[in-house]
Chain A
């Protein structure tokens, strides 16, 4: 407490937080009601300290703060804030700006998240996929791929999808890794500078702990004001996970299984287990995405979680992928062997749209809200690693600190 600290306020960053949805942060009077109201704020209380960092424009602190990512934005803090400073919204804005901060290249965050850049966001995959279609035949011949008789593969062959998506996904993956590694190092550096870095759990154990939490949404379950959001998020999470598994299996089925002498079963029958999983997953994803939207739209009052373009573009993208996926499937199972030209065009157009949306979802991952999959996970692992992720305990006295005579740290 005693040593002097030179505060270098970044006024531009304050404006950025305000623009990203933290518009009420200056109303904060540092009463710390929020840090106690929050069921997840424990060993390292938040979001009171984040509010003053935000007011002071201490960007370095905020973008290296794991606690920002402990928040699931139930908005209990905003609901009960005496000043209407909406700490929950401020944390959401900081999460967005953290993704921005570590993004490589940075301009992609604009493409992925800004409503005004949406045309560019669509144009990019449309052009890439269009070019791919134009060069489909010559490249296919050069590489020795024959024409695939399957309905969609004859239009957009699997080798082309895997080549194109593989290449750009790899780029996105590299960008994502750079981002989260920088994030991890920043968190470590920040804690070390504050003299509070401590490796309490090993990295493998920390990963196991974080994954357990994510799989069960355990801490999300403590959120009060916006409890229904947990179910919506679980649905989106598991719906998407199922689709991701099936897609991965399809690649394995197409290219790995034949190498092992097992004939590919792609395209899958309607009752093939992977297909059943895909359909169930798709339905759950649609349910979850719609519930996310309805919950956000319906929420009223100070506890409401409205969201910004950052949130809405992402959830629309998810819904778009799921809905176009179902449309593509319906076409596949309903068109006969010799479909009319118009029907074929409609099916291919739908498929193209589906591919565009999937491309956006995957390639914009390090820049869009999807990046929370990485950053939140990394922050949770870090929290486990440093022991700040103490289990939430209610009504449990914590050791001698609470017993009488309760001697307290001097505060004056």
Chain B
């Protein structure tokens, strides 16, 4: 089989690769493997591709929107006949040996078929509201929803847990294209591949677990991932950074670094990117509020390599205060939120008022316990729950944040490396 897309010769005789996870790592791996001539099956558990990156507003240090790179990648993806992408798909079992794996994938019903044009007639009639999971619970969608504007596949999906089912059926009636099928059931897909690339990515740390920081007790205490959505023009506030409590403007913001991270009581590891992430977010604030006081409370500021320049540029901001001291407590008072810390460099207690508090929560590896590996139970993990690079079965390769917390650029390089490794197990 041979074809050509974008001038790149595609040769489908280099074997077959399964990529688990459709985030930036998985998308990159799938494209790279296909462009090297492999057939690719990509299994993504959500209803759309893009993962965490799709929810970012901008990348540091260039402050460019992820939608740009994501769009390019998705285009390469869509036009590539060697890639078969499965969404709402959970990999259940991997059997066999390198070069000869048999994989069982459970595909959950989307309820919406290829006929969908995203006209939205169904959304108008749907009676059920659900928390908007893409926007981390900020706002709601209907039970039938479009995950986000650039979602791929560009089709609505039904949250089967929220949906009232055939008893309601209003969407079915409303759809002018007969694209809704509420009778869809779980399906099992079996594929045979030569290698598996695990790019299951990460979840933000559950901030409600952190004692003293009050997440969940006050709407103006948000997490860094929520901040990305708020700053995003496609987010729940159309890109306007406001106090979630009343939608009002923000005069002061406190960033709480290591919220639960580097902490034996919560998440032991350093996620390595939250310092830069918060510094990046201070720019979002500054763009919208030139006069806002910004305090960033940190244990250590981690700005490796060229990122030092980014840090130094931020230090020029006179209303940005970098305070060395971990925040142990946020008091909710009649006068607003008070962030409590010790300023280590001066040895004094500081208590700073903040209209908005952003908790820089860390990166937790996605749960991969559902994936059974013949003879090994599951994927091998390290002390922090990340997948080890060396898996018991040599043809199972790990890339991106599934292996360790890191930034997008590293994930992309990781994906290429994993593909190079996978090719060793691919036979013609």
Contact = CB atoms under 8 A, between A and B. Distances in A.
Contacts of B262: 29, 31, 82
B341 A36 contact: yes
B264 to A, nearest CB: 5
Interface stretch (A57-65, A175-183, A373-381, A394-402): A394-402
B347 A49 contact: yes
A405 B294 CA distance: 10
Given A32-B341, A82-B265, A395 B346 contact: no
A395 B345 contact: no
Contacts of A411: 321-324, 343, 345-346
13 contacts: A30-B299, A32-B342, A35-B342, A36-B342, A41-B349, A80-B211, A81-B264, A82-B263, A83-B264, A394-B331, A397-B351, A411-B322, A411-B343
A251 B395 CA distance: 88
A48 B325 CA distance: 10
B2 interface: no
Contacts of A1: 345-346
Contact of A36 (B263, B321, B349, B352): B349
A138 interface: no
A151 to B, nearest CB: 59
B275 to A, nearest CB: 14
A405 B252 contact: yes
A408 B323 contact: yes
B252 A404 contact: yes
Interface of A: 1, 29-37, 41-45, 48-49, 80-84, 302, 394-395, 397-398, 401-412
B251 interface: yes
A408 B321 CA distance: 7
Given A32-B341, A45-B348, 4 more contacts: A1-B345, A31-B325, A404-B353, A409-B343
Contacts of B155: none
Contacts of B324: 32, 411
B322 to A, nearest CB: 6
A42 B349 contact: yes
Contacts of B342: 32, 35-36, 41, 45, 48
Interface residues of B, number: 42
A76 to B, nearest CB: 10
Contacts, number: 115
Nearest to A42: B349
A83 B16 CA distance: 46
B333 interface: yes
A37 B343 contact: no
Contact of A401 (B251, B293, B346, B351): B351
Given A36-B340, A82-B263, A406-B293, A43 B349 contact: yes
B329 interface: yes
Contact of B264 (A84, A402, A403): A84
Greatest chain B CB density within 10 A among A45, A48, A394 is at A45
A406 B336 CA distance: 13
Nearest to B292: A405
Given A395-B333, A412-B322, A31 B350 contact: no
A406 B347 contact: no
A336 B324 CA distance: 74
B304 interface: no
B128 interface: no
A80 B345 CA distance: 22
Contacts of B211: 80
A408 B295 contact: yes
A314 B345 CA distance: 39
Contacts of A37: 212, 328-329
Contacts of A45: 342, 347-349
